[in-house]
């Protein structure tokens, strides 16, 4: 059973690895009524307070909708400007940031990360590094092949250790070195992506958040995305409240800011599609990177999807095919996270596969 204080695994097709503004755009009375009803039924069945949906066709935003409540206590509805934690969907954003550094010839993907002369040198920890630690490369971290730190009960990002980020990394390197030789085994790792955030900082000379905003998000036309914060009292403007009916673990026990590169961003569903439109290798909008980098890992497949899940968060970003992509974000999670994701994806795919015509507008132009 999934532990809801952890980030979810990335789910990739073909069995490969890897409060709100007042204005709410009204849903069409006819055109998407069937889809809206399905989404509303699913979020009700799985006790998700609210959700957002966005669908893109040929890099045009053809539909967006909001459902349910951003704040249950005040009965504030979700709007199309509401921001949600996206959990592990932060990882493809970080990966594209690393590939941008590589394309700009500021970074070699096969460079060592730790040790004398490596990207991060001996900055973290106090003990001599093991051979396994010194053999970790940037590519290993990207592909979840660093040899340790799995997304399970021992996940460093969720241990009850309230160290700041740098101190946490040093503590883990000192006490929990990789259990397997890097490069040999896939072990999905939130901690590995936390390290990648520090790689971005070391190479760019900027904070992780500043680099990603300037070099990845702003070129996509995204201005609302932020790295989230831990407590409800610290939430960003337009950010929803989070609810975890699946367990007693509070979404506000998660140090989201510390998780930045592996699970810390907040976004709108439309933000994620703006990002997708610039990495999907289609021709309507100029891609951020050249084709070589956009065929690394799962990015090169016609269909791939990444999920994000932790206490108070259920999220999907999917490249359905060469025509469609979509995103769904929710501010709650169910006991059966996987079933929720399956049903939400199926509702959108049923719409894609059954609809004979689509609007010819581009709602990105109205944002």
- Residue 146 and residue 133: Cα distance in Å, rounded? 8
Domains in the chain, start-ordered, CATH in brackets? 13-93+222-366 (3.40.710.10), 96-204 (3.40.710.10)
- Residue 108 and residue 138: Cα distance in Å, rounded? 8
Question: Residue 71: phi, psi to the nearest 5?
Answer: -140, 105
101-132 pLDDT tens trace: 999 999 999 999 999 999 999 999 999 999 99
Q: Quick one: 360 exposed, middle or buried, by C-beta within 10 A (0-12, 13-18, 19+)? A: exposed
291-319 pLDDT tens trace: 999 999 999 999 999 999 999 999 999 99
Please give the pLDDT value at position 9: 43
pTM score of the predicted model: 0.93
125-179 pLDDT tens trace: 999 999 999 999 999 999 999 999 999 989 999 887 889 999 999 999 999 999 9
Share of the chain above pLDDT 90, in %: 87
State yes or no: pLDDT of 27 exceeds 90. Answer: no
* Mean pLDDT rounded to a whole number for the chain: 92
* Cβ–Cβ < 8 Å for 43, 330: yes
206-231 pLDDT tens trace: 999 999 999 999 999 999 999 999 99
The pair of structure tokens assigned to 288 is 């951020």
* Cβ–Cβ < 8 Å for 215, 98: no
Query: What distance separates the 2 farthest-apart alpha carbons in the chain?
Result: 65
Q: What number of other Cβ atoms are within 10 A of residue 200's Cβ?
A: 27
71-95 pLDDT tens trace: 999 999 999 999 999 999 999 999 9
- What are the residues whose beta carbons fall under 8 Å from the beta carbon of 19, sequence distance 6 or more? 70, 71, 74, 76, 82, 237, 238, 239, 240, 241
In sign, the C-alpha dihedral spanning 352, 290, 107, 131 is positive
C-alpha to C-alpha distances, 328 to 271, 306, 317, 342, nearest whole angstrom = 11, 11, 7, 12
């Amino acid at each position: 059973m999934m532990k809801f204080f952890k980030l979810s695994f990335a789910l990739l097709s073909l069995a490969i690895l890897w409060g709100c503004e007042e204005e709410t755009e009204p849903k069409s009375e006819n055109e998407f009524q069937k889809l809206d009803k399905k989404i509303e039924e699913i979020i009700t069945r799985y006790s998700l307070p609210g959700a957002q949906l966005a669908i893109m066709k040929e890099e045009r935003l053809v539909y967006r909708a909001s459902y349910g409540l951003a704040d249950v206590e005040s009965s504030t509805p979700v709007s199309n400007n509401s921001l949600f934690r996206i959990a592990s969907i932060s990882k493809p954003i970080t990966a594209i940031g690393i590939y941008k550094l590589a394309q700009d010839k500021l970074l070699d993907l096969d460079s060592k990360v730790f040790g004398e002369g490596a990207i991060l040198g001996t900055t973290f920890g106090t003990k001599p590094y093991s051979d396994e630690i010194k053999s970790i490369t940037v590519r290993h971290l990207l592909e979840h092949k660093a040899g340790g730190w799995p997304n399970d009960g021992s996940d460093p990002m969720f241990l009850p250790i309230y160290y700041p980020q740098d101190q946490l990394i040093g503590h883990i390197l000192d006490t929990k070195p990789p259990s397997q030789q890097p490069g040999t085994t896939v072990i999905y790792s939130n901690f590995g992506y936390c390290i990648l955030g520090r790689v971005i900082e070391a190479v760019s000379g900027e904070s992780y958040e500043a680099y990603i905003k300037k070099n990845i998000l702003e070129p996509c036309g995204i201005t609302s995305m932020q790295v989230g914060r831990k407590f409800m009292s610290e939430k960003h403007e337009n950010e929803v409240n989070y609810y975890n009916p699946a367990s007693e673990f509070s979404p506000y026990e998660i140090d989201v800011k510390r998780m930045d590169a592996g699970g810390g961003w907040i976004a709108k569903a439309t933000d994620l599609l703006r990002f997708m439109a610039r990495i999907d290798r289609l021709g309507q909008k100029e891609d951020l990177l050249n084709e070589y980098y956009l065929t690394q890992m799962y990015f090169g497949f016609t269909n791939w999807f990444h999920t994000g899940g932790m206490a108070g968060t259920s999220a999907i970003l999917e490249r359905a095919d060469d025509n469609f992509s979509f995103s769904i974000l929710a501010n709650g999670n169910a006991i059966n996270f996987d079933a929720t994701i399956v049903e939400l994806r199926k509702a959108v795919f049923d719409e894609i596969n059954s609809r004979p015509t689509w609007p010819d507008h581009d709602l990105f132009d109205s944002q």
